Structure 1
Amino acid sequence: MAESDFYTEHLTCGLCLSIFTDPVTLLCGHSFCRRCITGAVNTRGRCPQCGTAVAPGQTCLPTNHILKSLGEKAREAGRKATQRGHESAEVAGLCPQHQERLKLFCVTDQQLACIICRDGENHQGHKFKPIKEVAASLRKKLEAFVKRIADDIDATERLVNTQTEEIGKTKDKVQQLTTQICRQFEEMHQFLRKREDQITNDLKHKEEEMSETLNTMETALSESRVLQAKVASVLDITDSDKFVKSWTEDNAMGTSERSFRPRANELQAVRRSSLSLGPYDSHLQFFMWKEMLQVIKPRAEPLSLKRGSAGITVSDDGRSLFCTPKSKGFGQTWHSVTNRAFSVNEFSSGQHYWEIDVGHRRYWELGIKDNFLKYDGRKYSTRCLSVVTELSFAGRPRKIGIYLNCTSKKLSFYDADNMTHIQTVSPGTLSSPLSAYFNIRCRTPDPNPMTVCWY
């Protein structure tokens, strides 16, 4: 006999036909659930099983803990048996509820079902399909899904390979740029170290000159003291004959007396205030920076401008622009004129940088053709391939720096006084060769030129 059947047979209440809960045993020896026997005794006053009379007070009996413990074990065994039954049914492809083969798929609930489940209340009105049909449909979906995953993996692998190649190129470029940067900084360091040595050597030379002057003074002082002592020794002779005789016999003393001249007038002490390096005392860094401008590469060169605009005048050296608006004649009423100009220098490859001193001008456009930075007196904006973008740049630079990288096809704008980045645009395709572009506007004759410098 199975364990669960044993518990069910011997631990079942005769009234509720369920396993005991809180069992009690009457004096006749029969056991029932406390709640069940209390109701039966109050109704009939006898044991439901043997008919023995039971007084009303006999229902207040202690719990039979042995039966209670066995009842709990019986319920646990029943739960395990039910679970094993469900698992067996699943393994065998049977419905755990009806023990029928699972031949259908409930589309509504997205679960397997048997024929009895289909006709039951829980699946009333639901849509069902045969399992084979559902399996074929799901297989197609999964195959398509697997293909999408495979395609994504292939695409990701291509990205990884491309990125790996780019990383390799970037490492080579980083190494190249690092070497270039180190070399350029070393050139500046060498210049600064050389100038430092020159200035410190100049100081040491001045110090040595002061020491040599002191040595000359001390030598002159020693010679004067020897002469003083010699003359004093002659003066100590009191006898006139001996005094004159000593004077006449010592020709050197006579010669010294005739040739002696005060040395103090010839020797002047070096005052502390005379030890000066000029502007290097207070403006060393500034003067070094100005000197470095003469040795750094690239150096400033003129950026010649094309002539030909009716409203613009180019200076003789080709580096400055003047706005020359037209007048009506009498009364000198001037028209506001927009004047465009391009550089003679053209760019087709590499990197290029130039600066424009815009001063306090209230309107200008600077860059290359169709790609430029604009200031209209109130705000800044960029134009790149007909797309205008307003900027939130709050500064008011007096000098604009423009950097053109033909390789990466990027055009950057800077405040050239402190090299603050303003904006970078990407024209994409650049028609070669390119020229620097300038556009200025004024209403009166322009006393201040717009100066251009190319590096």
Structure 2
Amino acid sequence: MASASYMEDLTCSICLTIFTDPVSLLCGHSFCRECITNSLSIKDKCPQCRTTVPKEEKYLPTSHILKSLAEKAKEAEKIKTKQRDETTGVSESLCPEHEEKLKLFCETDQQLACVICRDGEKHDGHKFKPIREAATSLRRELEKGMEHLPDDIHAIDSLANMQREEITKIQVMSQQLMTQISTQFEEMHQFLRQREEEIKNELKEKKTEAVEEMTEKLQAMDLALSESRELQVKMTAALEICNSVKFLQSWTEVNNMLTPECLFRPRANDLQVAHTSLSLGPYESHLQFFVWKEMLQVVKPRAELLSLRGKNTDVTVSDDGRSLLCTPKSSQSQSGLSFGSTRAGDFTNHAFSVSEFSSGQYYWETEVGLRNYWELGVTGHFLKYDGQKYVISNQSSVTELTFTDRPRKIGVYLNCSSKELSFYDADKMKHVHTLSSSLMSLPVSAYFNIGHSEDIDRNPLTVCWY
């Protein structure tokens, strides 16, 4: 009872825990400094006896005696708790199922167990250790693991920092690309708006010229119509005069300069209707195509203007350096076209671009037409067609592809920084496949192969220039 009373005297009546930095009011009651400060800020009264606390008393000195006793009480409470945990946690803890003391540790299930648990079906064949031995063994493993944990934490922290940097980089890169895309689309929009305005202005000018011509014709027709109607009125009035003398006098006074033959000459023969003639030429029927062709002149960057160079006399390169043709070869040399060959340069009928690529991004298109064999790509990495199958081939693997339609034009996109090579059906601008290879050795040249043939294939392999 003395111990309980002792603890009660050292307990703050506000937070109900042992004092922390205790202070005493004039009424004699003690509290934690933080607790009483918060209480007095709301109401100037002692929380226990409700005695009013003067404002000048709100600065309260620490009660060092209570503070010392409170610290000792806390230390005693810690020791008591530790002792209770050691006794109840090992020797007095009971199995919830059998109400027996937990004296064993099942290493298989990683849980405490009693003797009855050990002999039960649930733990049949499991490995057990006494609790103290298991605790010692586990403590030893944890201590050993702690030796390497700081290094692992440091390594993970470094990786996390690197990942944060990569996230920042990708966000910055995304924003830059977003700006670049917006800028390039705005340039195209601006070009299209400008051409739209120019074509509309041309249409307006032609409409104005046509309307002016038609208006002149209409004014001449209106004048002739007015004069003819006026003549009709005069003639009707003259014909109503029965007296010959008066009839002649009346008519000659009105028309003393013109003979009847001149007056009655049909004037409609002198007038012609200006028919509608408003044409914008190809912009009327093929506007989108012509404007697209015009846009190609301002689009930057455009497809690479590659020139080819052959490695031997078996390959014919056109004078402009764009087309590649081969001469017939014997069936024996044709046997070198076995499906699955993975290295560029296995066949003699190949060519490379004059220019080499070591950095940056490049795109070019090649017209394959109806050729029954071709290889396109870069040195050591290419797309191959043998008349039946499409295959992606590089220095380490072969991947067969499926095309819904037979493409007539192949686009190749090279990203030197990521060492990625992408292929497109250039007629539809549809992505076909992308291969990424760390084995790609820079610089590389564009690669073209038309294979061997017993018969001359009249379809050349032609690099597209725009």
> Alpha carbons of 1:419 and 1:152: their partners in 2 closer, same or farther (altered >3 Å)?
farther
1:311 to 291, 309, 314: 314
1:298 to 276, 279, 301: 301
Specify the alignment match of 2:416 in structure 1: 406
> Alpha carbons of 1:268 and 1:335: their partners in 2 closer, same or farther (altered >3 Å)?
farther
> Alpha carbons of 1:253 and 1:172: their partners in 2 closer, same or farther (altered >3 Å)?
farther
> Alpha carbons of 1:349 and 1:106: their partners in 2 closer, same or farther (altered >3 Å)?
closer
Question: How many residue pairs were aligned?
Answer: 356
CA deviations 1:77-132 (Å, max 9, x no partner) are xxxxxxxxxx99736834769x999888787996477xxx79x9999x99986655
1:174 deviation in Å? 1.5
Equivalent-residue separation in structure 1 for 2:350 and 2:228 (angstroms)? 88
Specify the alignment match of 1:93 in structure 2: 91
SS of equivalent to 2:450 = strand
1:389 deviation in Å? 2.3
Specify the alignment match of 2:184 in structure 1: 184
> Alpha carbons of 1:257 and 1:180: their partners in 2 closer, same or farther (altered >3 Å)?
farther
* Aligned partner letter, 2:376: L
* Aligned partner letter, 1:270: H
Specify the alignment match of 1:227 in structure 2: 227
Equivalent-residue separation in structure 1 for 2:93 and 2:291 (angstroms)? 94
1:193 aligned to 2:204? no
> Alpha carbons of 1:361 and 1:248: their partners in 2 closer, same or farther (altered >3 Å)?
same
* Aligned partner letter, 1:443: E
Specify the alignment match of 1:438 in structure 2: 448
1:146-295 correspondence runs (5 A): 153-228=153-228, 231-232=231-232, 235=235, 236-237=237-238, 243=248, 247=252, 262=267, 265-271=270-276, 274-295=277-298
Bigger mean CA offset, 386-395 vs 431-440: 386-395
> Alpha carbons of 1:102 and 1:277: their partners in 2 closer, same or farther (altered >3 Å)?
closer
1:178 deviation in Å? 1.5
- Conserved in 1, the CA contact under 8 Å of 2:326 and 2:450? yes
Equivalent-residue separation in structure 1 for 2:430 and 2:283 (angstroms)? 29
2:461 to 437, 450, 454: 450
> Alpha carbons of 1:96 and 1:349: their partners in 2 closer, same or farther (altered >3 Å)?
closer
1:383 aligned to 2:393? yes
* Aligned partner letter, 2:215: N
Unaligned runs of 5+ in 2: 1-84, 335-346
SS of equivalent to 1:446 = coil
- Conserved in 2, the CA contact under 8 Å of 1:338 and 1:440? no
TM-score (normalizing by structure 1): 0.64
2:325 to 322, 325, 337: 322
Q: Pairwise CA RMSD of aligned residues?
A: 4.4
Structure (1 or 2) with the larger CA radius of gyration: 1
TM-score (normalizing by structure 2): 0.63
- Conserved in 1, the CA contact under 8 Å of 2:324 and 2:460? yes
> Alpha carbons of 1:187 and 1:263: their partners in 2 closer, same or farther (altered >3 Å)?
farther
- Conserved in 1, the CA contact under 8 Å of 2:411 and 2:423? yes
* Aligned partner letter, 2:138: L
2:365 to 349, 355, 363: 355
Equivalent-residue separation in structure 2 for 1:449 and 1:377 (angstroms)? 15
> Alpha carbons of 1:334 and 1:295: their partners in 2 closer, same or farther (altered >3 Å)?
farther
1:373 deviation in Å? 1.1
Equivalent-residue separation in structure 2 for 1:88 and 1:298 (angstroms)? 77
- Conserved in 2, the CA contact under 8 Å of 1:302 and 1:318? no
1:340 aligned to 2:343? no
- Conserved in 2, the CA contact under 8 Å of 1:89 and 1:96? no
SS of equivalent to 1:422 = strand
- Conserved in 2, the CA contact under 8 Å of 1:351 and 1:404? yes
Equivalent-residue separation in structure 2 for 1:279 and 1:107 (angstroms)? 87
Equivalent-residue separation in structure 2 for 1:288 and 1:356 (angstroms)? 23
- Conserved in 2, the CA contact under 8 Å of 1:358 and 1:399? yes
- Percent of counterpart pairs with the same letter? 51
1:314 deviation in Å? 0.5
> Alpha carbons of 1:425 and 1:250: their partners in 2 closer, same or farther (altered >3 Å)?
same
> Alpha carbons of 1:264 and 1:356: their partners in 2 closer, same or farther (altered >3 Å)?
same
Equivalent-residue separation in structure 2 for 1:140 and 1:269 (angstroms)? 109
